[in-house]
A = this chain, B = another copy of it.
Amino acid sequence: MKTPNDILERSQGLVKTIVIAAADDSQVLEAAKAAVARRIALPVLVGNVAAIKRLAWAIRFDLEGVELHHAASAAESVLVGADLVRAGRAEILMKGHVNSSVFLSAVLNSRHGLRKSPLLSHVALFFPAFYPKPVLVTDAGLNTHPSFDDKLLILRQGVEVLRKLGVAEPKVAILAHNEVPSRKVPVSEEAIRLVEAVAAGAVSDCIVEGPLALDLALDDEACRSKRFQTRVGGRADLLLCPDILSGNILYKAMTVIGKAQGAALIVGAQVPIVLTSRGDSMETKLLSIALAAATA
């Protein structure tokens, strides 16, 4: 798996059922149409049926054979979508034209919600041009200041995604500002404890090192010039971020500075959740559906 195309090929023909809540969103419908064309997914559309049909017609998305469920509001669409997932009628949930916080509060709701793990987390898979393989960044979008235990769950969920993509023993870098832990930066000392917890069995099937600065995690040359002995450095598959501030900056650096193609998911729920934003490209939306299908 080296290019975004490999994700598309991996998910081609899987025809996973994807329920789209508040599907009256032409960009999301475009991505769904492309996913149908590649037989990655079969959509179930929830929302204002008239609006959905009108938008689908405008982009020549043939809804023949596509299940439609009417909902009176965006919020109701999410509840109907979650119900379909809980009833086992869908393998992926995708957010359409509805505010993220409305969508997430429904997903996290204790009665109607879709929780499976004690924690949902955000994973983003990037294919940076300079790197010989994809790299998973987590958590850049959901958990603001994850605790030690949260980080173990985030790490485990990230490792599971990579294993489903065929990376047998993901190499994990626990990011900080330096490879030398410092009392002034608690996250860098926490990294040591995370490595110890993983070694003690908290997360299996991965090789973890930390703290690591980003250059040591991704750049072989930086490891050599620092004479840094490592099994993860220069070849990390997963970057565990200290918090949402650094995670989001890394995520945006991948797209804005690195022009890397990427796909993002929320994991830890009963099914993978695709939650792309208006600013994401059509490629990112399709890739995210493909990543969901490949890991569902």
> A-side interface residues toward B, CB under 8 Å?
128, 130, 144-145, 175-178, 182, 184-185, 187, 213-215, 218-219, 222, 225-226, 241-250, 252-260, 278-279
Which residue on chain B has the smallest CB distance to residue A215? B252
CB-based contact B214/A248 at 8 Å: yes
The 9 closest A-B pairs by CB, nearest first: A253-B253, A214-B252, A177-B248, A257-B258, A246-B246, A215-B252, A144-B184, A245-B246, A242-B245
Most chain-B CB neighbours within 10 Å: which of A130, A244, A252? A252
Residues of B within 8 Å of A259, CB to CB, are 130
**Closest CB of chain B to A233's CB: distance in Å?**
12
Known interface pairs A144-B185, A226-B278; A176-B257 also in contact (CB < 8 Å):
no
Residues of B within 8 Å of A253, CB to CB, are 214, 249-250, 253-254, 257-258
Number of copies: 2
**Closest CB of chain B to A188's CB: distance in Å?**
8
Residues of B within 8 Å of A128, CB to CB, are 257
* CB contact between A243 and one of B144, B226, B245, B278 (< 8 Å): that residue: B245
**Closest CB of chain B to A138's CB: distance in Å?**
14
Residues of B within 8 Å of A176, CB to CB, are 245, 248
Residues of B within 8 Å of A248, CB to CB, are 176-178, 213-214
* CB contact between A254 and one of B218, B241, B257, B278 (< 8 Å): that residue: B257
* CB contact between A249 and one of B144, B175, B184, B258 (< 8 Å): that residue: B175
In the complex, besides A175-B249, A246-B246, 16 extra interface pairs with C-beta distance below 8 angstroms are: A144-B177, A144-B182, A176-B248, A177-B248, A185-B245, A214-B248, A214-B249, A214-B253, A215-B279, A219-B256, A222-B256, A222-B279, A242-B245, A250-B253, A254-B257, A257-B258
Residues of B within 8 Å of A242, CB to CB, are 245
* CB contact between A257 and one of B175, B184, B257 (< 8 Å): that residue: B257
Residues of B within 8 Å of A241, CB to CB, are 249
**Closest CB of chain B to A125's CB: distance in Å?**
15
* CB contact between A246 and one of B213, B249, B255, B256 (< 8 Å): that residue: B249
Known interface pairs A245-B242, A250-B253; A279-B226 also in contact (CB < 8 Å):
yes
* CB contact between A185 and one of B222, B244, B279 (< 8 Å): that residue: B244
**Closest CB of chain B to A173's CB: distance in Å?**
11
Q: Write 13 A-B pairs (CB below 8 A) sorted by A numbering.
A: A130-B257, A144-B177, A176-B245, A177-B245, A177-B248, A177-B249, A178-B248, A214-B249, A222-B279, A226-B278, A241-B249, A249-B253, A258-B258
